[in-house]
Amino acid sequence: MPDFCYMINFKHYFEATGNRARILLDGFSKIQKKGKLSLQVALSQLDLNLSSTVGNITFLAQHVDPVGYGAYTGKISMDALIERGIHGSLLNHSENRILPEQIIATVKRADDLGFNITLCLENINEIEKYVGIRPRYIAYEPKELIGGNISVSTAKPDVVENAARLCSEFDVDLLVGAGIKNSGDVKKSLELGAKGVLVASGVVKAEDPLGALNSLMSIQ
């Protein structure tokens, strides 16, 4: 299953910033060499420079704005990210929600530039609303399950299945996140039609992050 995507969001966790992030990435890279799956990591904006130091991993920003170069204080442009070898970003994460018009404008600009957007959405109504603009990925993450111990694939299997069917109609890959902790959660997500998982604390804040990631990827 070479197309199954493991996307790890480093957020702004202490365990995944600065030199600690580099150490994690070195370990993740060694795990990735053993497999054929897609490993993608969303770095803190302050650590995007690490993308040039580690191979075998696709790197993402955690947010991007629908602007180019110019007088945009505090904004993050796709143009600047692309110049630094970053060709994708999360967008509209539950911890950084944005307005509908900004979502639409950002995905449109990303399409024009060949930039991959992972659009985070919280329910099936949002998926129905935005799937037609065709981001690269839609990540279904019910807010109430984020950081918890019950996986979305266990708590809401019918929603995952419906979301996967809807995304497939528009040639959009569905990721699922929230509560994903082990290979059983991943396997269930795959069976329901997801093309990957988006995880954060389940790996980054685990006692053994490398062991946690290796376990998640063991379904191959």
Res. 112 pLDDT band, cuts 50 70 90: very high
Looking from the CA of 163 toward its CB, the CA atoms found within 13 Å total 35
The total number of structural domains in the chain stands at 1
Encoded tokens for 169:
């109609």
- Report yes or no: 78 and 109 within 8 Å, Cβ to Cβ: yes
- Report yes or no: 163 and 140 within 8 Å, Cβ to Cβ: yes
Of 41-45, 151-155, 159-163, give the range with the top mean pLDDT. 41-45
pLDDT at position 2 is 47
How far apart are alpha carbons 134 and 106 in whole angstroms?
A: 12
How far apart are alpha carbons 201 and 220 in whole angstroms?
A: 22
> Can you spell out the DSSP letters for 14-45?
GGGSHHHHHHHHHHHHHHHHH--SEEEEE--G
pLDDT at position 32 is 78
Is the pLDDT higher at 108 or at 3? 108
Mean pLDDT on 121-147: 89
Encoded tokens for 70:
């110019």
How far apart are alpha carbons 104 and 107 in whole angstroms?
A: 5
CATH number reported for the structural domain that contains residue 56 in this entry: 3.20.20.70
Exposure b/e, 168-201, CB count within 10 A at least 16 = b? eeeebbbbbbbbbbeeebbebbbebbbbbbbbbb
The pLDDT mean for the chain works out to 90
- What is the 8-class DSSP label of residue 147? T
Tell if the pTM clears 0.85, that is, is over it: yes
Encoded tokens for 161:
């299945």
**1-55 pLDDT, tens per residue?**
446 899 999 999 999 999 999 999 999 998 876 555 789 999 999 999 999 988 8
Catalytic residues: 93, 141
Phi, psi for residue 137 in degrees, rounded to 5: -130, 150
pLDDT at position 36 is 58
Res 81 pLDDT > 70 = yes
Query: Domain range spanning residue 111?
Result: 5-219
